[in-house]
Structure 1
Amino acid sequence: MNDYIASLLALPLMQKLSQLAPEINLRLLPSTNIDATAMLERNEIDLAIGAISATKPRLMTQNLFTDYYLCGMGKNHPLAKGKLTLDKFVRANHLLITLTGEATGFVDRILQEKGLQRRIVMTVNQFAIAPEILAHTDLIAAVNYRSIQHSVFAGDLHLTKLPFEHTPISVNMMWHDRKSQDEAHYWLRQCITTCL
């Protein structure tokens, strides 16, 4: 899982598991350098959690929550006053959060369809550092609402609706069908569900 999901899940899940199953071992792997689908098929991991969907017939998914993107910036940013138009958005300096290291993201694909391009000044590969960067620079970014909501820098940020339509993010839990009837696995899935 990525740091955004880990920041929402790791603490409440560990607190729950330490009370209910103190002998359990929990190992969270970064989603950026593993092939979760292949690892599930080889029975190397029990679950995968992220903006993922089953691509193989024997993989099962359950939606954990839906999040949406907003435009985040420092609370004193000039764009924090008034409505954020598409023109103002495109002319701003941008921070791109890219877990894969790609130089563009979903925002760029949407802008490209409109014949527009933004200036990406900085890219980072973690959600956790974006709020601090936004709070202390002139950069703006498309950010997940829940990742900002839990940030210690939330009070230093201004969030506003993006000036274009976009698809919300579905965060899912995925496992191999061979685990569907496993009682311990079912119990773990239920614990995860109640933590989010």
Structure 2
Amino acid sequence: MKLNLRGIDLNLLPVFDAIMEAGQLSRAADALGMSQPAISAALQRLRHCLADELFVRTRQGMEPTPRARELHEQLAPQLAALRDTLDPGNRFDPASSDRHFRLVSVDYFEMVMLPPLLAQVRKQAPGVVVEVITATDAMSEDLQKVRSDLAIDAFIPEDPRLNRMVLLEEELVVVARAGHPCLRGHCSKEQFLSEEHVVLPDRNRRLPLDQILDTPGWQRRTGARVTQFAGMLATVAGTDMIATVPRRLALHYAHAMQLQVLAFPVPLPPVPIYLLWSPALDKDPAHRWLREQLVSTAAVL
């Protein structure tokens, strides 16, 4: 049975957030302009409502329980978004913000886009935190319920309620180690099919590459299956296996990992990389600012 929110005083949530951030009742009271007895009373009420101790007093301060950490991870981004939304001027000041953004993606984003994005964000918003979490089957629900701010993915969830835009388009290329005995700057269809491949888990969705590989005469030999693009590149660099990866990713790491970047044997349509978010955050000024940073970062990759 779902929790009845009418039984919880939502005014207690900012108190909970302040204690998590401050680590002490006195500091939390100062931050909220409340007395320490009032903070203590609010914490007792919240403990009763949630049936958890939430904080344990130690010499270092108030140590959160595992349940408190879990709650804060989910609530902090939503409370920050609510503060920005209810701001009478609907303002967002990057320079003073400590907003915590959660982005859902695969490691392609972390390896290619995250470093330049953070370099750009840090110039404007030194206090903003960007957390990247792994894409799962719950991605659509997490976005819709604002448990995550944005998703970056090549696959569009079957959920028409989500806003979406094409962030960039990727070309697929073949990578092999520089000293590969059979590949020297070119990869024919025959060579592509004769070599062993490093592949990612099947996400049960189709990309242009999947459509090619499903046609007669295009069955590749799988030599290894790994969980991330980083594992693909590392395996290719240390073996005679090959892999098909996004061009930006391949070029970014080719020199450091001594990889050849080869054109795919036949022309492939570009792969759109989508930016997805909940309509509930569409007009949130902080969220809009982050989307703008992502778009401008993608434009120069």
Same fold (TM over 0.5): yes
The structure that is helix-richer by fraction is 2
Q: Which residue of 2 aligns with 1:93?
A: 196
Instruction: Tell me the C-alpha RMSD between the 2 structures.
Output: 2.5
C-alpha offsets along residues 162-195 of structure 1, whole Å, 9 cap, x if unaligned?
Answer: 2233332211111111222222211110011122
Match of 1:186 among 274, 277, 288: 288
Instruction: Give the gaps of 5 or more residues in structure 1.
Output: none
Structure 1 letter corresponding to 2:150: L
2:251 and 2:261 in contact (8 A); partners too: no
Structure with more relative contact order (C-alpha pairs < 8 Å, separation 6 or more): 1
- Report the equivalent of 1:131: 233
Q: Deviations over 1:1-45 (max 9, x none)?
A: 1111111222222223333222222221111x3522111111211
The answer (yes or no) to whether the contact 2:193–2:218 under 8 Å persists in 1 is yes
Q: Call closer, same or farther: CA 1:132–1:57 in 2, change over 3 Å.
A: closer
CA gap of 1:52–1:162, structure 2 versus 1, over 3 A, is same
**Structure 2 residue aligned with 1:5, among 92, 109, 120?**
109
**Contact 1:68-1:144 within 8 A present in 2 as well:** yes
1:157 aligns with 2:279: no
> Against the structure 1 CA distance between its residues 28 and 163, is the aligned structure 2 distance closer, same or farther, given a 3 Å change threshold?
same
1:66 alignment partner, one of 145, 163, 169: 169
Gaps of 5+ in 2: 1-104
Separation of aligned partners in 1, 2:242 and 2:162: 37
1:20 aligned partner: 124
Q: Give me the identity figure in percent.
A: 27
Q: Secondary structure at the match of 2:164?
A: strand
Contact 1:96–1:122 (Cα < 8 Å) also in 2: yes
Q: Retained in 2: the 8 A contact 1:108–1:117?
A: no
**Count of residue correspondences:** 193
Provide TM-score, normalisation by structure 2: 0.58
